[in-house]
Structure 1
Amino acid sequence: MPQYRKDGVTRRLCASVHLDDDFAQEVDRDLTGDRLNAMGLTLGVNFVALARHARVAVRRRAALDRQLAALGALLVTALLVALGGLIGGRGPVAQIGFYGLLGALASAWWLVHHAESQARAAAQQVFRDPDRAEKLAPPVEPEAEAWLHELKRANVLPYADAAALDNPFVGSGHELRETVWQPIDVSKPAEAPGGGKLPILSFDAIDLHTYVAREMESISGLDGLRARNRLYVLGSHAYMLQELVPDRTRRPQAQIPKQLVQAGLQSPGAAMRTHLCLERVGEGGRLIVSMYLRAILNRPSLTWEVAVYAIPPLGARFYRLDRLPVASFDRWWSLVGHATSHTLPELRGAVGRIRGRGRTRRRSAKFLKKVRRDITDQHVIYDYGAPDSLRERIGDWEQAGYNERTDAADFLNRLQQGVLVATERFLKDHNVDTSSFDKAQQNINTQTYNINNVNGPSNIGPGGQIGNPNAPQGSGPSGPGGGAPPNKP
């Protein structure tokens, strides 16, 4: 059967920056702008490709505004000349002004038409080309791309201080559950086959994390499951790790030595803890379910700290591409209508948009200059933490259909059961008696998850059963237009 491509969300976002100027500005500023705080995780999005297309879109918008501003000045001049000729009774002068007025309007119409035509062509090309999203736009600054490449394999993430009391896993979406599982006694040796007791093999939390990370994909049956130990650091404490913030006037690193990540598990402290991050991306990247685990081994007991989050499909604004006409006449007529209805508003707003972007750049540069001066001269402690992620901001639970809800239930069930199976196997491999684990497992398996959807909560329990069966479950395809077509964008 046809399958969704894994890069469907990336290509849809790359297409959307060409059609949505505000989104293009936001992406360009977030991914390549000067900053001090960390950036949220990529979560299935190719940030390099997105940054490249956003830069193309931003430059096209800036060039159009400059041209429209010049034509606006010409338009005002022509209007004054025409009025002066009419008032003074000089017909030829008024005629010149009138023709200048028409010429400026016609030129502005053509510029708006041409820019929209270019934007739509670029959007449709990147959306429909399954293999060249990153190559269809020129590179941005090498240092920015290098940082975005590192972010794909980030093993550390500073989180904003504002999230410390609620959700240190910033950018991971909607909280489904946060809990600490029932402790397991790991001090009793297992029975030997011929009688007596087997010697317990020594292990620590790092060994357990490593085993679960290595075995979870095969145990859970979730192909493509991403498992990685990641150190989460409170943003205002990030400067304490020199390897994370080598220069306090620059943004934090996305990768640090593995030994520091392990230390955050073995001996957490100073608001720095290491979690095993399990991330499963659904069909076409529409849904992302993440489970964060931390083994707490305080002998004689072991327990798991567990947090589960989900990010819904993209919001409705990112499906405009599906409604663009592609037939020759329909496309031509649509562009004519767009240029006709947008020429005057574009002309009136060109100067304001140019000034607004300039003010934003100056305000940002002034803020960063002041903060850097305070850090250097006053030794101010700065919050380097990421407040969220791009993928989280643009998700919308109203676009989550039946398929997404059932996929989330399946992922959660498999992840929870997989962790339990992996833990049991690990303990048996180390000759630990699992009777205490068996009792804890019975309690853990009764836990449920709450998943928001269009019509309200659905309680997803063991076995993927949906609680509250009388509640409405929604209908229709999974998002506008049913999402990306099979084997296509």
Structure 2
Amino acid sequence: MMMNKPKYDITRYLCAAAEIGPKFRTKVFDQIIDNTIRYVAPSYGVDVPLVARHCIRGQIRDFIIETLLSIVLVWTLFSSFNSYGIIGGIFRFLLTLFTYPWLIAIILKWSNLYLGYKTVAKDLKEFDKKGDNRSLIEAQYEERIKELEELQEGNVVYYSGYNPFVGSGNQVDGWSFVCSTKLKEGLESDPNNLSLYALYDLIDRNMNSLKIPNLTVRDKLFVNGREIREDARFLPNLYESPISHVAESLVDEFKEKWEENVRYYQTVQVVGWQGNIVFSSFFRITKNEKHLFVEANYFAVPPLKSQFYEIDQLSSSIPFGRVMKMGVVSIIPAILQLPLSPFRAIKYGMAFLKGQKNKKELLQQVDINQKFDYGAYESIREMAARTDMQYFFQTTDLMMYKKEIERCFTDSIVEYLESTGIDTSEFIQRKESIINQGIMINGGQVNGNVVSVGSIKNNIINQAKNTFQNSNV
């Protein structure tokens, strides 16, 4: 098994969750691995294919353990009936369960737990194992793993519901305003002189000149997943997921125009604290003959929930005391789950076929529902995110990113407008009220306890989203 060192520590934490967290693993299977028709939300700063591989391996390990226990259980039942008949065999079977089958169950559960923690404690810290051996079951997912890798680099995001910036976490802040594009006195008006394409290009160059580590600038389209059924630009095949990467020429078209269900945003992202926080800025500029509309939205993905950091408490070699503790905590699950092992084996086995079943159901929904939603669920990164910052300095860093990026954005607009002869006095006045006085048109705040938007409406949306996430993790 060959492991590549992840770009950020956040991938390592999520791989650990995939190995020892059945609930997280199940959620990834349902929404990411088996979700082959709806768009998969990008998980910024995360190696999604690697997390998916660990989910598959953890699921295979559980399947093998439950299958072995089922064989032991069936053999014990058969031997009891063969030696004592049906009536006597039932009593003999019940008595025998608490002898060698129970002992085998404890050993197997213990081994499964140990292998999971060994992967977490050693392999996920080193990422240096050689070879590229994959099981037969894992090989069946290779095509899907490659698709997930391509999805992360796409230039189109398909959203479901209210928030178009799926995968970017909670809204931190936002503002917008309109200003005049009249020329300075003495200059003749030329409405074609203002090119949004050239303006975005200047912003791109200036953003990339900022000395902020791990900053990226991307051009992206955000498309309503319920409104693409008849749009071959994004959905060539009704029965497959929408394409995640469109031609740059199409993206450029939307820099100068917009549609109700398709919007272009210049996306500026900073991945900080080894991937533990992701700050995203989404900028959009539109114009008419007399006015320029400027919009900014700021989102942040907080760190992971505390349980996902347990890997840091383990050394590369698991202490003998912890190994023994694993054996002790395996006793009760072995007693309770042994009689149910055949059903659990079937459940885990069917999980590998569930994707095909789900796809058939989704295909039926596509035929029936003319407004089938191809938009994304939450991302892997959002599944595991907490609702607040982990450290005070993460909050202050978010503020720093926001202010630096915001100033670069507004300064770039002023620079461009000046070069085209437009009177920038109104724009500068509004710019200064945003940068210096902190007056946000839509309101909002970042504090140490919660990342939220100031408006009541967005607070309610974020709270509802967090409640949903917590109920499913």
TM-score, normalised via structure 1 length: 0.79
Give the structure 1 partner of residue 169 of structure 2: 173
Asked if the contact 2:59–2:348 (Cα under 8 Å) also holds between the matched residues in 1, the reply is no
2:274 partner SS? helix
Asked if the contact 1:157–1:232 (Cα under 8 Å) also holds between the matched residues in 2, the reply is yes
| Counterpart among 401, 405, 411 of residue 395 in structure 2 | 405
1:355 CA drift (Å): 4.4
**Counterpart of 1:185 in structure 2: which amino acid?**
S
Whole-angstrom CA distance in 1 between matches of 2:243 and 2:351: 26
| Counterpart among 98, 115, 119 of residue 116 in structure 2 | 119
1:26 CA drift (Å): 2.3
Give the structure 1 partner of residue 3 of structure 2: none
Whole-angstrom CA distance in 1 between matches of 2:131 and 2:180: 51
Give the structure 2 partner of residue 284 of structure 1: 274
1:34 and 1:285, CA in 2 relative to 1: closer, same or farther beyond 3 A? Answer: closer
Give the structure 2 partner of residue 344 of structure 1: 335
Write out aligned runs for 1:15-30 (5 A): 15-30=16-31
Give the structure 2 partner of residue 225 of structure 1: 215
Whole-angstrom CA distance in 2 between matches of 1:429 and 1:314: 45
Asked if the contact 2:229–2:370 (Cα under 8 Å) also holds between the matched residues in 1, the reply is no
Q: Tell which deviates more after alignment, 139-148 or 262-271.
A: 139-148
Asked if the contact 2:19–2:119 (Cα under 8 Å) also holds between the matched residues in 1, the reply is yes
> What are the superposed Cα offsets for residues 355-376 of structure 1, whole Å, 9 maximum, x if unpaired?
4456767776555424424645
Write out aligned runs for 1:452-463 (5 A): 453-454=448-449
Whole-angstrom CA distance in 2 between matches of 1:439 and 1:369: 57
2:64 partner SS? helix
Counting matched residue pairs gives 438
1:374 and 1:20, CA in 2 relative to 1: closer, same or farther beyond 3 A? Answer: closer
Asked if the contact 1:293–1:305 (Cα under 8 Å) also holds between the matched residues in 2, the reply is yes
Whole-angstrom CA distance in 1 between matches of 2:312 and 2:196: 48
Residue 255, structure 1, aligned to residue 245, structure 2: yes
Give the structure 2 partner of residue 193 of structure 1: none
Write out aligned runs for 1:388-403 (5 A): 388-398=378-388, 400-403=390-393
2:232 partner SS? coil
Give the structure 1 partner of residue 178 of structure 2: 183
1:226 and 1:73, CA in 2 relative to 1: closer, same or farther beyond 3 A? Answer: same
Give the structure 2 partner of residue 143 of structure 1: 143
Asked if the contact 1:14–1:133 (Cα under 8 Å) also holds between the matched residues in 2, the reply is no
1:108 CA drift (Å): 1.6
2:279 partner SS? strand
> What are the superposed Cα offsets for residues 31-79 of structure 1, whole Å, 9 maximum, x if unpaired?
3315321111121101111111111111111111111222233445567
What fraction of aligned residue pairs are identical, expressed as a percent?
Answer: 20
Whole-angstrom CA distance in 1 between matches of 2:47 and 2:448: 27
Whole-angstrom CA distance in 2 between matches of 1:401 and 1:333: 34
2:99 partner SS? helix
| Counterpart among 251, 264, 268 of residue 274 in structure 1 | 264
Residue 214, structure 1, aligned to residue 205, structure 2: yes
**Counterpart of 2:20 in structure 1: which amino acid?**
L
TM-score, normalised via structure 2 length: 0.81
Unaligned runs of 5+ in 2: 1-5, 455-473
Whole-angstrom CA distance in 1 between matches of 2:289 and 2:19: 56
Give the structure 2 partner of residue 154 of structure 1: 154
The RMSD of aligned alpha carbons is: 3.5
1:272 and 1:73, CA in 2 relative to 1: closer, same or farther beyond 3 A? Answer: same
**Counterpart of 1:109 in structure 2: which amino acid?**
I
> What are the superposed Cα offsets for residues 404-429 of structure 1, whole Å, 9 maximum, x if unpaired?
21111111111211211222222233
Whole-angstrom CA distance in 2 between matches of 1:175 and 1:206: 27
